């Protein structure tokens, strides 16, 4: 969180005091640092500069148009998982030849839209999907480029909800069935097999699972090539973790150093799909303390952001550092507290059993490392309008998504005449 620092007694994002953003846009509010986004993207890109590669930013982590445009201007492509993401990517100006499409449940409309746009490729997750893509492509008189997503059965050693490359997972094609699937794929007239793909999970804090999974995939590439299919792309997925608390994940250059020797001689373009690593520590969620409450067994800090704004703590038990916006409170007496939101669920918390300095109601807290899987997973639960998003660049703060209004909440709803 390098670009969120205390200066002159308060938290800044780059050269903008967070208090200025609060005054202008209110709370809860997401703030992103332009400098952090660029630094992380460039770290990834330059780490792999020795190998032909495409970075396909996993836009599920943060799909705001401004963020996507920024990535596209840096040369990034995107990894999409829905027609909605394709729409956003195109709207933001991401070139179709850098778009890859993953997901176990692509529907025919989404497949058609992606073929119409001529995206780089589909990452295919089953033989049924191969058939479906072949059918849609046939109806359009085109050939669809695909990579087969292989499930290498490697434990990524991360949270079970974000592990995707184990035998019991719904993702990908089992490694031991892969050759058969490749044969099927090459027999389909409207399919052109161009690559292999793997993604074993998210928030990985070691390089070893990446390397093991890649080795398994490369063994397969040899066999497939021997059958005469030219594999031009190897997609290693995303998953490189970030520091939320005291994790020490490898840096992109550590990943590159481990991977490059394995692929350098293959004459392939490497595709990677980092999401969290690029945006996670570039964002924070700012919230106001409404009340403090001493319960029978616990002390609560009740804030105006809730699980509908940031669901990671409730859903995964995820840890997000929490800091006072005004630095003077950092020295205050501490208490063990739960930081909770206004949503009517016991699972609505941003931190549990956390030792925090005492900050009075009316003051503000920053929930750190909220740039990835933050706003994008937010909802209108309890009819709470979604928060605004602000992008800071140097001394400027740009609103990149306005706070939703109550009218936005009911958009598209209708009361049928019989209820009049």
- Residues at the contact surface with ligand LLP, assessed by CB under 6 A: 58, 61, 79, 102, 162, 164, 199, 202-203, 237-239, 273-277, 312, 316, 372-373
- Cβ-in-10-Å burial (0-12, 13-18, 19+) of 201 comes to buried
First to last CA, the chain: 54
Whether 375 contacts 331, CB under 8 Å: no
Which residue lies nearer to ligand LLP by CB, 195 or 237?
237
312 is in an annotated binding site: yes
β-pairing, 269-272 vs 16-17, is unpaired
Provide the minimum distance between the beta carbon of 162 and ligand LLP in the complex, in angstroms, as a whole number.
5
β-pairing, 144-151 vs 173-174, is parallel
Which residue lies nearer to ligand LLP by CB, 84 or 395?
84
Which residue lies nearer to ligand LLP by CB, 22 or 178?
178
Provide the minimum distance between the beta carbon of 358 and ligand LLP in the complex, in angstroms, as a whole number.
30
181 is in an annotated binding site: no
Give the dihedral sign, CA 321/325/327/328.
Answer: negative
* Per-residue tokens: 277: 């690593």
DSSP state of 380: -
Phi-psi region of 19 (alpha: psi -120 to 50; beta: other; left: phi over 0): alpha
Buried b (16+ CB within 10 A) or exposed e, 65-91: ebbbebbbebebbbbbbbbebbebbbe
Provide the minimum distance between the beta carbon of 102 and ligand LLP in the complex, in angstroms, as a whole number.
4
- Report the C-alpha gap between 209 and 207 in whole angstroms: 6
Provide the minimum distance between the beta carbon of 5 and ligand LLP in the complex, in angstroms, as a whole number.
25
Whether 219 contacts 196, CB under 8 Å: no
Provide the minimum distance between the beta carbon of 80 and ligand LLP in the complex, in angstroms, as a whole number.
10
Whether 253 contacts 44, CB under 8 Å: no
275 is in an annotated binding site: yes
316 is in an annotated binding site: yes
Whether 236 contacts 209, CB under 8 Å: no
Which residue lies nearer to ligand LLP by CB, 72 or 397?
72
395 is in an annotated binding site: no
- Active-site option among 13, 29, 268, 344: 344
345 is in an annotated binding site: yes
Which residue lies nearer to ligand LLP by CB, 258 or 290?
258
273 is in an annotated binding site: yes
- Cβ-in-10-Å burial (0-12, 13-18, 19+) of 265 comes to exposed
Catalytic-residue membership of 268? no
Which residue lies nearer to ligand LLP by CB, 166 or 290?
166
Strand partners, 148: 124, 196
The packing angle between helices 208-226 and 178-187, to 10°, is 50
276 is in an annotated binding site: yes
Provide the minimum distance between the beta carbon of 276 and ligand LLP in the complex, in angstroms, as a whole number.
4
Place of tokens 């990835």: 372
Q: Residues annotated as binding site for pyridoxal 5'-phosphate?
A: 239, 273-276, 373
Q: Residues with catalytic annotation?
A: 344
Residues in binding site for substrate: 276, 312, 316, 345, 373
């Amino acid at each position: 969180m390098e670009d969120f620092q205390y200066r002159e007694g308060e938290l800044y994002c780059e050269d903008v005091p967070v208090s200025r953003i609060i005054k202008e846009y209110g709370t809860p509010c997401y703030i992103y640092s332009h400098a952090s986004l660029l630094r992380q993207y460039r770290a990834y890109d330059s780490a792999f500069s020795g190998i032909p590669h495409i970075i396909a930013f996993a836009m599920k982590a943060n799909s705001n148009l401004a963020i996507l445009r920024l990535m596209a201007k840096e040369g990034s492509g995107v990894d999409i998982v829905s027609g909605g993401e394709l729409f956003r990517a195109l709207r933001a100006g991401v070139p179709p030849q850098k778009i890859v499409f993953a997901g176990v449940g692509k529907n025919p409309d989404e497949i058609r839209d992606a073929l119409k746009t001529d995206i780089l490729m589909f990452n295919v997750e089953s033989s049924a999907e191969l058939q479906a893509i072949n059918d849609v492509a046939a109806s359009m008189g085109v050939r669809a480029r695909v990579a087969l997503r292989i499930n290498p059965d490697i434990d990524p050693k991360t949270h079970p909800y974000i592990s995707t490359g184990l035998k019991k997972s719904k993702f990908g094609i089992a490694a031991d069935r892969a050759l058969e699937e490749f044969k099927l794929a090459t027999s389909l007239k409207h399919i052109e097999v161009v690559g292999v793909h793997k993604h074993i999970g998210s928030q990985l804090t070691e390089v070893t699972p990446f390397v093991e999974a890649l080795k398994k995939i490369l063994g397969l590439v040899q066999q497939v090539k021997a059958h005469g299919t030219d594999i031009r792309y190897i997609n290693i997925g995303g998953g490189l973790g970030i520091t939320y608390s005291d994790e020490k994940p490898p840096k992109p250059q550590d990943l590159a150093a481990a991977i490059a020797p394995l692929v350098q001689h293959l004459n392939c373009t490497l595709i990677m799909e980092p999401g969290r690593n690029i945006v996670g520590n570039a964002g924070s969620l700012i919230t106001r303390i409404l009340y403090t409450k001493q319960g029978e067994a616990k002390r609560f800090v009740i804030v105006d952001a809730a699980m509908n704004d940031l669901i990671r703590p409730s859903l995964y038990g995820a840890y997000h550092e929490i800091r006072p916006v005004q630095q003077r409170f950092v020295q205050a007496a501490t208490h063990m507290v739960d930081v909770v939101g206004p949503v009517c669920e016991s699972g609505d918390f941003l931190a549990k059993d956390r030792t925090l300095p005492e900050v009075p109601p009316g003051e503000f807290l920053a929930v750190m490392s909220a740039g990835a899987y933050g706003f994008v997973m937010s909802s209108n639960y309890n009819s709470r309008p979604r928060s605004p998003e602000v992008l800071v660049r140097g001394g400027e703060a740009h609103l990149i998504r306005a706070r939703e209004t109550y009218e936005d909440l009911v958009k598209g709803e209708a009361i049928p005449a019989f209820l009049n």
